Amino acid sequence: MQDLSKILKFKFSWRTYQQKFLDGFQEHIKDEHLHVIAPPGSGKTILGLEILIRIGKPTLVLAPTLTIRNQWRSRLMEFFTGDNEFNGYSLNIKAPSQITFSTYQSLFSLSKSFNENAKEKLLAYVKKHKIETLVLDEAHHLKNEWWHCLYHLKEIEGLTVVSLTATPPYDSTATEINRYFSLCGPIDDEIGVPDLIKNGDLCPHQDFVYFSRPEEAQIQYIINYREQILNFTNRLIANTGLQEKLITSNFYTNPKESLEYIYQYPSFFSSVIIYLNSCGYAVNEENLKILGFSNNDVTFPSFTYEWSEIFLQQLLIDQRDNFIDFEDVLLPIEKEMKQIGVLENKRVNFVGDEVLYRNLSNSPSKLESIFEIVRNTDENLGDTARTVILADFIRKEFLNFEGSETKTLNKLGVVPIFKYILAKEATNTSLGVLTGSLVILHETAVVHLKQLLSIKELAVNPMDGSEGYVFIKVPNALKNKIAESVTQLFEDGVIKTLIGTKAFLGEGWDAPCINTLLLASYVGSFVSSNQMRGRAIRVDSKNPDKISAIWHLACLDPTAIDGGKDMEKLQQRFKAFTGVSLRGEVYISNGIDRLVLPLKWSETTDLSTINRDMLAKAQQKSVIGDRWNEAIKKGNILVRELKIPFSQDQPFAKTKRLHALNAGKYVMLEVVLGVSLFVPEFILKNMGAVLNKGIVQIVYLFFVALILGFGPKTFKALKLYFLFGNQYKKTKKIGKAVFEYLLNTKSLNFESNTAVINAEQNRKGTFSIYLKNASQHDSTIFISILEEVIAPIDNPRYLLINGNFIKRKLGIRNYYVVPKEIGKNKTEAIRFKKYWNKHVDGSKIIFTRTLEGRKELLKARFSHLKYQFEEVSQKAITWK
């Protein structure tokens, strides 16, 4: 076997951030895992090659496509081989070499070819060829069946797994996210976008959102849908037949005999109690005693859509066999739910079906949004405008559209977008369409195209309803050449707005001149959108002052206070976008908060003002650049932090009055001052009574007046202190316990000895906690563990319980989770408790897999039902 480090040398100088990463990578690789986020433009492939060279073991590199596989090979030959010809690589997984470049699909096909005992034969094959390093490029591309092969490979002892990605799949389902991170491991390091902008490898940029409302027909459909669900829920709460079945069921009437069942299905049991409480029933006191409560010790939440889903999912689907006696009341409910459309494919869904949200995502109102963005961009940038619009589908059925009546353009796609812009602006000659099967240009652009192709004739057909535009018949022999030439026309400005599909322009296509990207795509994950977004923010050697605008579209659900599914999807997408704040305080962070959008939406929200402001901000190129420069100077590293939001109804400033967590102190100060003024006033006013009635009676009256006058404020002061000040302080204490445990036990390869816990609070009340002077790997571990401790309680193996009477009466949380990784065995859980008791409080630890433990777990979950469907904390990435 050849010594790769002697044969393969990087020919050039490493960029500052690349060198910084390489300097620390040996620390990360100790646990045989390396998971790196490297945005487009950071040289991810070249870094991957350097890593496998330094590891120096036979390596299998897996890529999502043949194009990307070949890119690995070409980067190796171009940047590392020098004068010596290197032949120790292979592109064929069936004939591996010291470095083998292949695809996930090829690995899956190889596994399938083994037929019986495929797993054992695959492992034997890898061991036979002594493959000891596995490089996973963009592992989020994996299809479901491909995961199994990789999990099998991970079982090989001593195999080092290197994962490289530009975009972790944050907007996938929880199952998919967990699967991804269990394969790739926690994130060890991240090359930050600010580093690339600072180094001149990416251009300054800003994300914008253009909002629209659905068409009238869509609004009516949504309103009718919501009304049907509301009416159904009201009928469910009035369903005496169902209520009688439940209150006479064995698990409800004889809870002591059904403990195992109750603790096996805690969410269902909770939903039954919440349902019956909403129906007006005084909840069986025996049931509450089982949970450790008295009747006045529990605050019941409303029977929301979320609780309805749990309740009916269990009754109608998951536990139907356990409720045979309920069939006469369940059948009519089931029938009605299917008619409404909230029960499909054995899943209860009250929030809304995919058809409902697909309607919003695909709303034709977005066509007007696209036109306004394009028009405004052309007006402000003139000949320098270079706009790319990405859609999911071509929609060739709209090719025959004519005229200016755009109502018939009722779907989002390449052709409807093209037709809509022309219907609004018939004189526009700078549009172009480029997809794998459809190319449309203006006649004036065809002349230039022929010159680039060096041909005199090109088969074209006039396009109905689009004067001056023609279809270009693309012969297979010229397919790639025409795509390159159309791209050149875009570079040259003959085409200023290029419309294409995400599939065709989203991968492998490059045009550094893009300065405006419009994402009209809603199918699939945001990963591919981020790939295209990465191309839009690359620097352009011909335009060193390039500043890009990336536009996202959102159609708001008028019946949802949070804006609906489009907004939810955007919030998920923005978790992977690190950018500069749009207005106000200058900072760099991920998440949609940096755009400063309304927290609540309604029919009266003035979208036109928001959109005008977005368009104006998009044209302030110099401001965007200045904000990046100012923000970059404020920090030097991307820090992972945990944000705990201020979730009270009162604005933070009004509740606190002072900046630093002293709401309780403020109110207590009011009490003290009030009492100090009250005492002399009381004595002066009642001097005659003292002489007439005696001192004992006056003291009695004094304390009654004191309690009536200041008791409520005193109680409020205590509660504010515990709910606000204590939450902040306690989170810091929990952070200290987690940090000391990780550091002293060297658990999870945590080694940041010089790290310091830092906590900050902004003016809106949200506070954040993070580690300073820690590696990305250790910051990620710390934040993940901390988040798990304070997250809503689900089903942990171990619980930490504090029985403080005062806190329980004030509704303060007394239950916390021993994190999954720590709670794998009792020894580590008890060790964690030692650090918890040192820094937080004197809690005891409970194993939840016993009958008594299940009881405590259910009590813990039931005590904090208000947390059940709330995101009480969230991870963030901020430049500090």
Q: Tokens at residue 763, please?
A: 């003016």
Buried b / exposed e over 284-297, threshold 16 CB at 10 Å, is beebbebbebeeee
- 485 falls within a domain: yes
Question: Tens digits of per-residue pLDDT, 172-200?
Answer: 666 777 788 888 888 888 898 999 999 99
3-class secondary structure, 663:
helix
Shared domain check, 137 and 88: yes
Shared domain check, 186 and 210: no
Shared domain check, 731 and 712: no
Question: Tens digits of per-residue pLDDT, 791-842?
Answer: 878 889 999 988 666 655 555 557 889 998 899 899 999 999 999 999 998 8
pLDDT at 82: 74
d(CA 521, CA 413): 9
Q: How many Cβ atoms are within 10 Å of 470's Cβ, its own excluded?
A: 19
d(CA 142, CA 144): 6
pLDDT at 653: 38
Question: Tens digits of per-residue pLDDT, 659-687?
Answer: 333 444 444 444 454 445 545 554 555 55
Shared domain check, 545 and 397: yes
Shared domain check, 698 and 791: no
Q: What is the span of the domain harbouring residue 786?
A: 719-879
Last residue of a domain, one of 680, 698, 718: 718
d(CA 820, CA 798): 9
* Element housing 167 (H / E): none
Shared domain check, 370 and 257: no
- What stretches in the chain show pLDDT beneath 70? 83-84, 141, 143-144, 170-174, 289-299, 352-356, 506-508, 523-529, 646-727, 762-765, 803-813, 863-872
Residue 601, CA atoms < 13 Å, CB-side half-sphere? 21
Nearest Cα residue to 275 out of 294, 300, 254: 300
Shared domain check, 744 and 853: yes
Shared domain check, 577 and 439: yes
Degrees, nearest 5: CA angle 548-35-79: 70
3-class secondary structure, 190:
strand
Buried b / exposed e over 319-341, threshold 16 CB at 10 Å, is eeeebeebeebbeebbebbeebe
d(CA 443, CA 456): 14
Count of domains in the chain?
5
- 632 falls within a domain: no
DSSP 186: S
d(CA 877, CA 783): 11
Shared domain check, 321 and 442: no
d(CA 24, CA 632): 22
Q: Angle, nearest 10°, between helix axes 826-839 and 726-745?
A: 130
Shared domain check, 239 and 184: no
Contact assessment for residue 163 and residue 64, using Cβ atoms and an 8 Å cutoff:
no
pLDDT at 780: 84
Shared domain check, 606 and 550: yes
Residue with tokens 């305080």: 585
pTM of the model: 0.83
pLDDT at 707: 55
Shared domain check, 856 and 741: yes
Nearest Cα residue to 879 out of 578, 584, 572, 574: 578
